[in-house]
Amino acid sequence: MAARIASVNPCAAATVSRGMTNSMKRNRFLVLGLAVALAILATVALRHSDAGAATASAAKSVVIRDFAFHPGTLKVKRGARVAFTNSSNVTHTATKGGAFDTRGIAPGKSATVAFNKRGTFAYHCKIHPFMKGKVVVE
Ligand SMILES: [Cu+2]
């Protein structure tokens, strides 16, 4: 029985390198390779979730297209930076008198506004005053 277990599990004594069979060595390499692969995978997964988290908190963006702000109402945490990206072919602004003004954002460009105070900021485009949006800072 003991002999059978030893042959089923040749790595039970694999910490001792003396007298290892070729298959033991192969197994050790396999285990080592697996460990390295897992470590790499874990690192990549962590980086991804880090990037995901960073993206989630930095994903605060408003896209300007079709003469409207998308989303029309954006909720963010205090301190968030919101990028206003102009995906249309005319210049726009995102302006809240007394609070912020991106000034003209040319087509294809963006402007970032830091929201450091809680509150609801109803803004508009100075060039097209019918374009309205809101940033709610919690
Ligand atoms: Cu506009």
Kindly report, residue by residue over 46-103, the tens digit of the pLDDT: 444 343 344 444 459 999 999 999 999 999 999 999 999 999 999 999 999 999 999 9
The more confident residue out of 27 and 104 is: 104
Same domain, 16 and 52: yes
Write out the residues surrounding ion ligand 1, Cβ under 5 A. 92, 125, 127-128, 131
> How far does the centroid of ligand 1 lie from the alpha carbon of residue 125, in Å?
5
> How far does the centroid of ligand 1 lie from the alpha carbon of residue 99, in Å?
18
Does residue 39 have a pLDDT over 60? Answer: no
Could you tell me the CATH number of the domain that includes residue 65? 2.60.40.420
The more confident residue out of 112 and 16 is: 112
> How far does the centroid of ligand 1 lie from the alpha carbon of residue 100, in Å?
15
Same domain, 67 and 28: no
Query: In 3D, which of 104, 102, 96 has the Cα closest to residue 83?
Result: 102
> How far does the centroid of ligand 1 lie from the alpha carbon of residue 93, in Å?
6
Domain that holds residue 108: 60-137
| Cα distances (angstroms) measured from residue 87 to each of 33, 66, 100, 133 | 47, 9, 20, 16
pTM for the model stands at: 0.59
| Tally of structural domains, the chain | 2
Neighbours of 122 (CB within 10 A): 13
> How far does the centroid of ligand 1 lie from the alpha carbon of residue 20, in Å?
75
pLDDT of amino acid 91: 98
Same domain, 131 and 89: yes
Secondary structure (3-state) at 127:
coil
> How far does the centroid of ligand 1 lie from the alpha carbon of residue 9, in Å?
72
> How far does the centroid of ligand 1 lie from the alpha carbon of residue 121, in Å?
17
What is the distance between the alpha carbons of residues 124 and 77, in angstroms, rounded to a whole number? Answer: 21
The more confident residue out of 70 and 44 is: 70
pLDDT of amino acid 71: 97
Same domain, 72 and 127: yes
Does residue 1 have a pLDDT over 70? Answer: no
Same domain, 77 and 124: yes
